Amino acid sequence: MSERGIQWFRFTAPANFYDLAGRLIPWFAALTIALFAVGLYLGLVVAPSDYQQGDSYRIIYIHVPTAWMGMFLYVLMAAYAAIGLIWRIKMADVMAKAIAPTGALFTFLALWTGALWGRPTWGVYWVWDARLTSMLILLFLYLGYMALHAAIDDRQRASNASAVLAMVGVVNVPIIYFSVQWWNTLHQGASITVTEAPTMATIMFVTLLIMVLAAWMYSVAVVLARARVELLERERNARWVQERLEGGTK
């Protein structure tokens, strides 16, 4: 087995993917813990409070990463789903399905933290701001994808049908975003704009970057772990599963 010179096609074989993911997960988990530790320390203790928003602005350190991950994971999920649909690669569907719950979770957290940030900043928990509204619709898209995948019993059909849905969704996300933004500007004028300091202090920027990376590493670790479980579930009767269990592995 050659460790150097990655042969990408090998990942599409379930057993290889299972082993490789198993080896990678601890590294990503360690990175996640380290980055979160540093990021939380910087964000909650070191970074000075904002002169306008006081300490409430510290929510930005989790609001922005969760929002980015929520959006990015949807695109990634749709990309995997499309690969699975077009090239009939089963592993791609496993990845797409494994991404969905984590993406939905991050989207929910972005909404939650957005609401809790909105209360001290705007005086209300929820405003029909373009970003919040689009995120809400994104959450519905995630739920629809998961519901459709779960509703179809035949595995191949489930993966293909939900892939079509994911691709339709990904085309729609920008349309939804721009139409909501347009609607929003028509209805509210400039009454609500997030006060963003024109030049973000370096420490804030670095902290934000670290937190984004932490969320990334967390997503990779959890998605790989879920993909492994998903794979075991699908291939429970395959020989490679039996072999690995007899070896007493994890």
Minimum distance of other proteins from residue 109's CB (angstroms): 5
Q: Are 42 and 119 in contact (CB under 8 A)?
A: no
Give 171 or 194: the residue with its C-beta nearer to other proteins.
171
Q: How far is the CB of 246 from other proteins (least distance, A)?
A: 8
Tokens encoding 214: 């932490």
SS (H, E, C) the chain: CCCCCCCHHHHHCHHHHHHHHHHHHHHHHHHHHHHHHHHHHHHHHHCCCECCCEHHHHHHHHHHHHHHHHHHHHHHHHHHHHHHHHHCCHHHHHHHHHHHHHHHHHHHHHHHHHHHHHHHHHCCCCCCCHHHHHHHHHHHHHHHHHHHHHHCCCHHHHHHHHHHHHHHHHHHHHHHHHHHHHHHHHHHCCCCCCCCCCCCCHHHHHHHHHHHHHHHHHHHHHHHHHHHHHHHHHCCCCHHHHHHHHCCCC
Binding site for other proteins (CB under 8 A): 40, 44-45, 49, 54-56, 58-59, 62-63, 66, 101-102, 105, 108-109, 112-113, 116-117, 119-120, 137, 140-141, 143-144, 147-148, 151-152, 156-157, 160-161, 164-165, 167-169, 171-172, 175-176, 179-180, 182-183, 186, 218, 222, 225-226, 228-229, 232-233, 236, 241-242, 245-246
Of the pair 60, 91, the CB lying nearest other proteins is at 60
One-letter amino acid of 48? P
Is residue 83 within 8 Å of 92, Cβ to Cβ? yes
Of the two residues 30 and 44, which places its CB atom closer to other proteins in the complex? 44
CA nearest to 159, candidates 98, 104, 76 = 98
Minimum Å distance from CB 16 to other proteins?
A: 19
Please, what is the minimum distance in Å from the beta carbon of residue 91 to other proteins? Answer: 18
Report the nearest approach of other proteins to the CB of residue 202 (Å). 22
Minimum CB–partner distance for residue 132 and other proteins (Å):
13
CB of 30 vs other proteins, minimal distance in Å: 14
The Cα–Cα gap between 196 and 202 comes to 14
**Cβ distance to other proteins smaller for residue 10 or 72:** 72
Judged by beta carbon, residue 176 or residue 206, the one nearer other proteins is 176
| Single-letter residue type at 93 | D
Q: Which is nearer to other proteins, 182 or 205 (CB)?
A: 182
Residue closer to other proteins by CB (options 6, 37) is 37
